[in-house]
Amino acid sequence: MINLNWKGKNARKNNSLRKHERIPFQVIETHQITKKNLSNFIIEDNWQNLLICGDNKDIITSLLKEFASKINLIYIDPPFATGGDFNYKIQIGEKGQYLDKIAYKDKWKEGLESYLNFLHERLISMKELLTNNGSIYIHLDWHVSHYIKIIMDEIFGIENFRNEIIWAYPAASAQTKRFFVRSYDTILFYSKSGDYVFNNDPSIYMEYSDRVKNALKQDEKGTFYYRGGSHDGKKLSRKVYITQNGIFPRDFWNDIPYIRANTLEYQGFSTQKPERLLKRIILASTNKNDLVADFFCGSGTTLAVAEKLGRHWIGCDLSKHAIHMTRKRILDVENSNDILNWNKKYNKKPNSFKILSLDDAEKKALIPREFLSKEIKNRELLQNRKNPDFIVSIKKNQKDVIIELKDYISPNSELIRDNVKKKITTFSDWIDYWSIDFNFQGNIFNNTWISYRTPKNRTLNLITSSYRYKKPGIYVVMVKLIDILGIETMQRHEIKIK
């Protein structure tokens, strides 16, 4: 076998992730939890999907103890070593105002070798997480796909290479006349062994070509087309009846468009991948209730599709903005496209999930550089900034409680650029998400009521629905608020129910 060598490879290979110290997860919050076993990570009837904030290297290390040989499918869409910056849109209020924020920088100070080290050590341990009949798909492009192909042959074995899939899409713009326009990505598909799941599911089929569709006819036996030919110099034709609505996919996928801003699935994330791309991958390589993982989850496409297809999922990202975007996307999944009937809404509530972190959950989030006034040069001022504050009113009527959000105060407005402040005309424009735990137990925030903005629905409820306590007593109400800059603030209120 031909191996690829680069500076630092052998040192990192000999110091595998498994040897690193396992970092315990902190449960930050839960959503729609029906059972109380919050520390059990074993896949049973009380499984809760996991959304984890932190460095995926540490997360994979921490998952190995519980999840070695338990994940059925891994799909990753890592950085491509492009040398560029990639943005997402932060929307403000209800009037269509937005700001661009850097989602991640795809730049490597030490060059290609540092990128290969970064991905190589993670791929080694991803293999350990896969079941023996599991698969991994790596989404790349022309920058590094040829390097990663050789690395994957070494880690997974060239005999377990299944496909190099070409996802071809129309070029968004053709701004060059110096070379041919690049308009496809590469997806490398490997299995862990020769005994792997691969389903002939009609829902993964590609549509017939226009030529075939135009030639389709109906008779009493079904749908058919005429296939031509010749025999002894005579032209022949015969009826060919079809039983499937399309053809089994080739390795060239040109039937899945990229994300446009006017689509329902659009999240404003520049590298967001289409749900129908993940639909084909997940249906082909998993079965119901299998476990799907995405360690670069970004805007949450893999997790949303896994959710709608009845799979368990684990997702993680280093960016708190990405985790927040994914949280809202899962919470709002009922309003998204039905993945098996694209022209209808999904119309189902999400399954239980919890958000974990490897970092201190109370750590202050810095104001993004894109929003800072150009005059701000003292980074200590930013580190020591005050937390935002907000005002709520709590109304009680016997055992019923309603909470209203009355105001939001940003004590650091002098740090923000004028062009940002001009877009904010009311206090609620600051707010992207707020939620209530009406019976906070002093440890894990359990969402009882939530209101949030999405790219397609910019309204925000400032008054909660009525919450009824079953028994008299003194209760702690915890209010969580996340603003458009990603800064999280919490308030604790104690109420007495008679």
Specify the pLDDT at position 11: 65
What CATH number is attached to the domain comprising 30? 3.40.50.150
The confidence score (pLDDT) of residue 192 equals 98
Whether the predicted model's global pTM rises above the 0.85 cut: yes
Averaged over 357-367, what is the pLDDT? 61
Nearest to 365 by CA among 382, 347, 340: 382
Domain boundary among 357, 379, 408: 357
pLDDT value, residue 384: 53
pLDDT at position 455: 93
Query: Which of 187, 220, 241 is the last residue before a domain boundary?
Result: 241
Residue 184 lies in a domain: yes
Domains: count for the chain: 3
Residues of the domain holding 406:
369-497
Residues 255 and 340 both lie in one domain: yes
User: Which range has the worst mean pLDDT, 58-72, 76-90, 290-304?
Assistant: 76-90
40 has a pLDDT exceeding 50: no
Q: Are residues 296 and 432 in the same domain?
A: no
pLDDT band, residue 92 (cuts 50/70/90):
confident
- Lowest mean pLDDT of 6-10, 182-186, 410-414, name the range: 410-414
In a domain, 1, yes or no: no
363, part of any domain:
no
* Spatial separation of the C-alpha atoms in residues 23 and 41, rounded to whole Å: 15
What is the pLDDT averaged over residues 442-454?
A: 92
CATH number for the domain harbouring residue 375: 2.60.40.10
- Do 13 and 113 share a domain, yes or no? yes
pLDDT(286) > 50: yes
User: Please, which pLDDT band fits residue 220 given cuts at 50, 70 and 90?
Assistant: confident
> What pLDDT is attached to residue 146?
95
**Gap between the Cα atoms of 266 and 222, Å rounded:** 38
Strand partners, 236: 229
Question: Minimal CA–CA distance to 453: which of 284, 311, 332?
Answer: 332
- In the chain, the percentage of residues whose pLDDT exceeds 90 is 57
pLDDT at res. 365: 56
216 and 302 share a domain? no
Residues 71 and 129 in one domain: yes
477 within 8 A of 494, measured Cβ to Cβ:
yes
Domain presence at residue 362:
no
Q: Say if residue 210's pLDDT is above 60.
A: yes
Q: Is 343 helix (H, G, I), strand (E, B) or coil?
A: strand
Residue 364 lies in a domain: no
**Distinct helix (H) and strand (E) counts, the chain:** 10, 25
Residues 172 and 41 in one domain: yes
Which of 312-321, 350-359, 380-389 is most confident?
Answer: 312-321
- Residue 73 to residues 59, 153, 322, Cα–Cα distance (Å): 17, 18, 21
* Residue 390 sits in the same domain as residue 473: yes
Q: How many CA atoms are closer than 13 Å to the CA of 380, on its beta-carbon side?
A: 0
Whether residue 164 lies inside any domain: the answer is: yes
Mean pLDDT of 325-342: 96
Say whether both 130 and 196 belong to one domain: yes
Residue 230 and residue 275 in one domain: no
Same domain, 427 and 325: no
How far apart are alpha carbons 281 and 374 in whole angstroms? Answer: 45
Least confident of 87-96, 114-123, 168-177, 188-197: 168-177
The answer as to whether 25 is a domain residue is yes
Q: Which of 314, 335, 357 is the last residue of a domain?
A: 357
What are the residue ranges of helices labelled H in 202-298?
Answer: 210-215, 275-285
**Residue 476: predicted pLDDT:** 96
**Lookup result for tokens 């004028």:** 418
Mean pLDDT (the chain) is 86
Side chain identity, residue 209:
S
114 and 142 belong to one structural domain: yes
Please check the confidence at residue 39 and state whether its pLDDT lies above 50: no
Provide the pLDDT for residue 385. Answer: 63
- Angle at the Cα of 416 (from 414 to 417), degrees rounded to 5? 115
Same domain, 214 and 201: no
pLDDT band at 180 (very low <50, low <70, confident <90, very high): confident
Average the pLDDT over 26-52 and give the result: 68
- Is there a domain that residue 3 lies in? no
CA atoms of 29 and 449, how far apart (whole Å): 13
Measured distance CA(407)–CA(396) in Å, rounded: 20
